């Protein structure tokens, strides 16, 4: 005699678990966070790369994430090119920023996380007109699982020129709130999370068991015995 679990509850739990197992969220330079609806906020004078006719940088759009990037330049000798910021707010335990680098123009970026200086990314001009794609501008890991504000600032007063081609961000969205009541703001690992998921599923009890007839079927040429 076999019993099958109440499948409505089974699939409800499974549907709640599967989305949180995927912790990395990618946000394109002109896209939105698919989980919160937020996007990267730019100060004035940032240009959308593929649509910018006045931009000197012309990377291959087919090699950019989703075919787009945001472009801005800084030069201490040009009053029209000043330091500009890009800001993104998220809740998670890590964040990564990716972009392109032009060998013809240097790049010098400053980063801030929650109002504190969080590092720099600087490459001098090499006069090489090739572009490097998917370059890691910035990363911060091991953060508390609380709301954060990340800022990219283009330019440095000591630098002659800086050209940034911001492509996309990736941040780690901690799923522990969905499966745990911990309050220490630290994220559990995927292995621990999966164990919790299996523990939840193993605790499912059938409300309305379905009885299956497990008697043997007759072989070809045999007659079924009367019960």
Same domain, 43 and 82: yes
CA distance 78 to 20: 48
Same domain, 145 and 226: no
Same domain, 91 and 107: yes
> Does 178 map to a domain?
no
Percentage of residues of the chain with pLDDT beyond 90 = 50
Please, which residues bridge with residue 22 across strands?
A: none
At residue 31, φ and ψ (nearest 5 deg) are: -100, -165
Same domain, 15 and 35: no
> Does 179 map to a domain?
no
CA distance 101 to 166: 9
Asked if residues 192 and 86 have their Cβ atoms less than 8 Å apart, the reply is no
Same domain, 115 and 191: no
How confident is residue 2, by pLDDT bands cut at 50, 70 and 90?
very low
Q: Count how many domains the chain has.
A: 2
Structural domain range at position 89: 24-173
pLDDT for 96 beyond 50: yes
Read off the pTM: 0.71
CA distance 190 to 115: 30
């Amino acid at each position: 005699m076999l019993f099958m679990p109440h499948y409505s509850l089974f699939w409800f739990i499974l549907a709640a678990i599967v989305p949180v197992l995927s912790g990395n969220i990618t946000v394109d330079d002109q896209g939105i966070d698919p989980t919160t609806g937020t996007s990267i906020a730019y100060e004035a004078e940032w240009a959308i790369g593929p649509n910018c006719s006045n931009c000197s940088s012309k990377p291959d759009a087919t090699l950019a994430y989703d075919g787009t990037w945001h472009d801005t330049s800084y030069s201490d000798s040009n009053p029209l090119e000043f330091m500009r910021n890009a800001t993104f707010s998220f809740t998670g335990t890590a964040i990564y920023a990716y972009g392109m680098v032009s060998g013809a123009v240097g790049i010098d970026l400053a980063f801030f996380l929650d109002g504190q200086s969080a590092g720099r990314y600087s490459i001098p001009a090499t006069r090489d007109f090739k572009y490097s794609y998917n370059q890691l501008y910035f990363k911060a890991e091991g953060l508390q699982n609380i709301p954060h504000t990340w800022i990219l600032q283009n330019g440095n007063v000591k630098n002659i020129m800086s050209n940034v081609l911001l492509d996309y961000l990736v941040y780690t969205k901690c799923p522990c709130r969905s499966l745990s009541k911990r309050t220490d703001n630290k994220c559990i690992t995927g292995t621990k999370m999966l164990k919790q998921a299996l523990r939840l599923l193993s605790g499912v009890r059938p409300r309305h068991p379905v009885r299956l007839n497990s008697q043997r079927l007759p072989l070809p040429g045999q007659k079924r015995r009367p019960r």
